[in-house]
Structure formats: structure tokens, C-alpha cells
Amino acid sequence: MARSFANRLKGLPAPATIEMARRARALKAEGKPVISLALGEPDFATPPAVVEAAHQAALAGQTKYPPVDGTPALKAAIARKFTRENGLDYKPEEIMVSNGGKQVIFNAFMATLNAGDEVVVPTPYWVSYPLIARMFGATPVYVSCREEDGFRLKADELAKVLTSRTRWVVLNFPNNPTGGVCSADDLRAIAEVLRQYPDIWILSDEIYEHLVFDGAKSASIAAVAPDLKDRTITLNGVSKAYAMTGWRVGFAGGPADLIATMRGVQGNATSGVCSIAQAAAAAALDGPADLVQEMVATYGRRRRMVVEALRAIPGFTCAMPDGAFYAYPGVAGCLGRTTAAGKRLETDHDFALALLEEAFVATVPGSAFGHSPYLRLSCATADETLQEACQRIAQFVEGLQ
Ligand SMILES: Cc1ncc(COP(=O)(O)O)c(C=O)c1O
């Protein structure tokens, strides 16, 4: 058999986050004492009341095919959430529920992109935006967010990369991997630029909106610039804020025509999201905010501890993130040197690989997020584990020649 695969997938790498986690697991299976800070997954448990809501939904017979775009109960909870937390009113036909936020992006891009279109993605970026865009023949175009700007997107930088081919602009603040948060004023300036391009769709990925620290405030572009709401997809989900990564519930608010087209895509791909998970997500959105508060306090404390430990390592720089649960240290000062095992470190990828193989700490190199030389460390793990990881990184760097 001539084993051929779709041209649209040619040259697409596997996300480096998943690749590093795979290597870490392989070393662990060999009995090595691996600490993995590679994946972005809360270490909290899903709140018991949410699990109980799923249990009750299953017992009550909510076990049939759900509507493709979400159960009426979850859509109502999502509408309440958008009104309460974002100042955004969406009607039921302007809301859709997908298999994680990731499927929202997949649906939206599949519904709109043609070969040759451009998708503007600020760097550092979450790995999936450019990969999904490329699956549909579009070209990712990058705009840099700098460490000295707190990794916020500057409107004048965005203006430089927009063209008549731009179909989407992706905004992801609080940002994965940097934790950068754009203020309402930043978004107002960005909106001013976008007004000059009425044919561009806007993807506002707000999945980390609750995870902000030290008074930082996340804002929704559709609320800050209501005239852009009819071309904005406001994306969110329960994975990060409610420690529900495995339940696979993401959602979006957006204009009815785009949502209807996305529903068509999803109807032919996966149909509606697991009915029981949708009941759980509704309980999470309508439930008390205590767990979110507890997580924010914990992540805020841990990220300070990690950033301070990393800043003390010679050759490292590290901005204090305003949001999300990652640290994104710069490692430029460690490149060009050789590890204790004789590996020369030319890139952040070399650094991350050697750190994993010699100190058994799994991180993700900045190259995976389009912004080098940096590393991403997830702070969503126990304090002692983070302390041990930072000590190992410090020792590893001390051993560089
Ligand atoms: C920025 C960002 N957006 C969206 C997602 C998708 O999350 P999920 O598909 O679990 O809802 C993630 C997950 O890592 C993320 O980091």
C-alpha cells in the first residue's frame, strides 16, 4: 500500500508541550526522578459539588445525544457568566459549547479560513493557534510581545502586520505562556487599529481570565469595544478556572452567523459535548467562586516563589507574570556554554532537553511558543516540587562550563 497522508498536514510538528511531556514520561518509566513542569494543568481537584452535579445528571437520565451547540441549561449558565463577569450579553444562538476551548478555535478557523489567508498571532503564543491555522492552509503571521512591555500586545506593533489577507487576529490575555495581561486601555488601542480593518475576525481567548494577580485585571475586547462584538469570538472554558481539564468543556460567545457555521463544523466532527460534562460545567459556572479564589492565591504565591528563585540563577532573567500559572524565564545568559555531561547549549531547545536529561526537570523551550531563548515552567504543582525543580535548575546552571 502506498501510505499517503493529507498534504495539509505536511510539515506540521507535534506541539512541543506534548513532545516534552512524552519524553519526561519515557524517562520516568526508566525509573528516573523526573519533575514535569511541562504541561499546563491545574493540580487542584474538580470541586466536589461539580462532580456531584455530573453524578446527578447521569442518574437523572441526561445520557442521550445532547444538542450540537450545547444543552439549554449550560448555555443559560454561560450567558449568565458572560453578563456577570464580562459585561457581555449573548443570546442562546450566539453561544456554542465545544470539546474544550481548543475545539472552539478549530471550529472557528475551519468555518472561515481559506488557503492563503493570514492569521495574526502575537508571540509568545499558545502552540495550537498557528498549528490549527496551518491545518486549514492559512499562514500564521507573528507580532512580538516583549518582556520589557510585560508581554502585552502593543497596538502599533499589531498595526504593522495587518494586511488585506489578514482573516483573524488572535488575542490571548492573560497569556499562555507568559502570563502577560492586556489592560482595558491596551485593548482600546488595539480596537482602534482593528476598526480600520472591518473584515478581520477577532479571537479573544480569555481562558485564564480569573487567574490574575496583584490587582491585574483582565478585560474582554468585545466589552471594551462593543462595535467589534459582531466580529469577535469570546472564548472561554472550565478547564483552567475550575480544574476541569479532563471534562472537555469549552465555550464561546460570538455573532449568530459565525456560531451557526461553527455548529455545522462540529455537527459533522464530534456532535455535542458529553451531556454529563455539560451538567458539571453548568454547576461550576453557577457555583461559588471560593475555589477560584483559593487557586488564584495559591498560583500567585507559587509564581512569586518560582520567579524569585529563577532570578537568583546567574544568566536567567524572569518577568513577574500578572496572570495564568506559568513562569517564562529568559536563558540567553546560559547559551554558548557546555553542560556537565558535555552538551553544548546553542538554543533554548538544547537547554530544555539537557535540563530534562541531566537534571530530570521537564520544561518547554520558548521556541515552541515562537519566542526564544526562554523556557516555560508550569507553576501548577506542589510548592515542594517547585522548590526542588528550582534547586535542580540552579545546580544544572552551576555545572555549566
Ligand atoms: C491559551 C489557551 N487557550 C485554550 C486552551 C484550551 O483549553 P481546553 O481545550 O482544555 O479548554 C488552553 C489549554 O492549554 C490554553 O492554554
- Inter-residue contact 109 to 263 (CB < 8 Å): no
Shared domain for 76 and 32, answered yes or no, is: no
CB 354 within 8 A of CB 341: yes
- What would the grid cell of residue 222 be? 468585545
Query: Whose CA is closest to 362, among 383, 399, 392?
Result: 392
Instruction: Write the CB contacts of 279 (distance below 8 Å, at least 6 apart in sequence).
Output: 53, 54, 56, 57, 62, 71, 73, 74
Residues 86 and 198 in one domain: yes
- Does residue 176 have its Cβ closer than 6 Å to ligand 1? yes
Whole-number Å distance, alpha carbon 8 to ligand 1 midpoint, is 23
CA distance 117 to 110: 12
Tell me: do 93 and 110 sit in the same domain: yes
129: Cβ contacts below 8 Å, ≥ 6 apart: 105, 119, 121, 140, 170, 172, 203
**Which atom of ligand 1 is nearest the CA belonging to 245?**
10
Q: Which amino acid is at 342?
A: G
Query: What's the one-letter identity of residue 398?
Result: E
Please report the atom of ligand 1 found closest to the CA of residue 208.
1
Q: How far apart are CA 25 and CA 362, in angstroms?
A: 10
Task: Verify that 68 and 209 share a domain, yes or no.
Answer: yes
**AA identity, residue 79:** A
Residues 280 and 319 in one domain: no
Rounded CA separation 243/48 (Å): 11
Same domain, 57 and 30: no
- CATH code of the domain containing 193: 3.40.640.10
Residue 4 forms part of a structural domain: no
Domain count of the chain?
2
**Residue 6 placed within a domain:** no
Q: Which atom of ligand 1 lies closest to the CA of 237?
A: 11
* 177 alpha carbon – ligand 1 mean position (Å): 11
Assess whether pLDDT exceeds 90 at residue 328: yes
Say if ligand 1 is within 6 A of residue 102 CB.
Answer: yes
User: Residue 301 above 90 pLDDT?
Assistant: yes
Per-residue pLDDT of 357-400, as tens digits, reads: 999 999 999 999 999 999 999 999 999 999 999 999 999 999 99
Nearest to 149 by CA among 120, 118, 119, 189: 189
Residue 199 lies in a domain: yes
Residues 6+ apart with CB under 8 A from 220: 86, 87, 88, 204, 206, 209, 234
Are residue 194 and residue 242 in the same domain, yes or no? yes
Would 3 be classed as within a structural domain?
Answer: no
Rounded Cα gap, residues 333 and 314, in angstroms? 8
In this structure, which amino acid lies at residue 66?
Answer: P
Query: Last residue of a domain, which of 286, 305, 327?
Result: 286
The DSSP output letter for 325 is T
Q: How far apart are CA 281 and CA 239, in angstroms?
A: 9
| Residue 205 near ligand 1, beta carbon < 6 Å | yes
C-alpha 288 to ligand 1 mean position (Å): 22
With bands split at pLDDT 50, 70 and 90, how would you rate the model's confidence at 16?
confident
Decide if 391 is inside a domain.
yes
pLDDT in tens, 183-206: 999 999 999 999 999 999 999 999
**Residue of 285, 277, 275 whose CA lies nearest to 68:** 275
CB neighbour class for 325 (10 Å; exposed up to 12, middle 13-18, buried from 19): buried
Distance CA 97, CA 232 (A): 16
Residues 87 and 157 in one domain: yes
Residues 314, 346: one domain?
A: yes
**In sequence order, which ranges of 114-201 are alpha helices (DSSP H)?**
128-135, 155-161, 184-194
Q: Residue 2: inside a domain, yes or no?
A: no
Residues 175 and 281 in one domain: yes
102 alpha carbon to ligand 1 midpoint, in Å? 6
Lowest mean pLDDT segment, chosen from 19-33, 199-213, 242-256, 354-368: 19-33
Q: Domain containing 380: what range?
A: 12-41+291-398
Question: What gap in Å lies between CA 323 and CA 216, rounded to an integer?
Answer: 8
Ligand 1 centroid–CA 113 distance in Å is 21
Query: pLDDT per residue over 114-173, tens digit each?
Result: 999 999 999 999 999 999 999 999 999 999 999 989 999 999 999 999 999 999 999 999
Domain boundary among 242, 267, 286: 286
CATH code assigned at 18? 3.90.1150.10
Q: Looking at this protein, which amino acid is placed at residue 250?
A: G
* Pair (196, 344) in one structural domain: no
Strand partners, 337: 345
Strand partners, 36: 362
Atom of ligand 1 nearest to the CA of 41: 14
Please check whether residue 5 lies inside any domain of the structure. Answer: no
Domain stops at, among 286, 314, 332: 286
C-alpha dihedral sign at 54, 56, 57, 61: positive
State if residue 209 touches ligand 1 by the CB under 6 angstroms criterion: no
Q: Is the pLDDT of residue 290 over 90?
A: no
CB of 173 sitting under 6 A from ligand 1: no
Measured torsion, CA atoms of residues 50, 286, 264, 194, in degrees rounded to the nearest 10:
-130
236 Cα to the center of ligand 1, angstroms = 8
Residue with the smallest CA separation from ligand 1 atom 13 is 40
Does residue 167 fall inside a structural domain? yes
Model confidence at 296, in pLDDT bands (50, 70, 90)? very high
How many C-alpha atoms does 166 have within 13 Å on its Cβ side? 23
Please tell me if the CB atom of residue 172 comes closer than 6 angstroms to any atom of ligand 1: yes
Name the average pLDDT for the chain. Answer: 95
For residue 350, how far is its CA from the centre of ligand 1 (angstroms)? 26
Atom 7 of ligand 1, nearest CA residue: 101
Q: What is the pLDDT of residue 11?
A: 84
336 shares a domain with 247: no
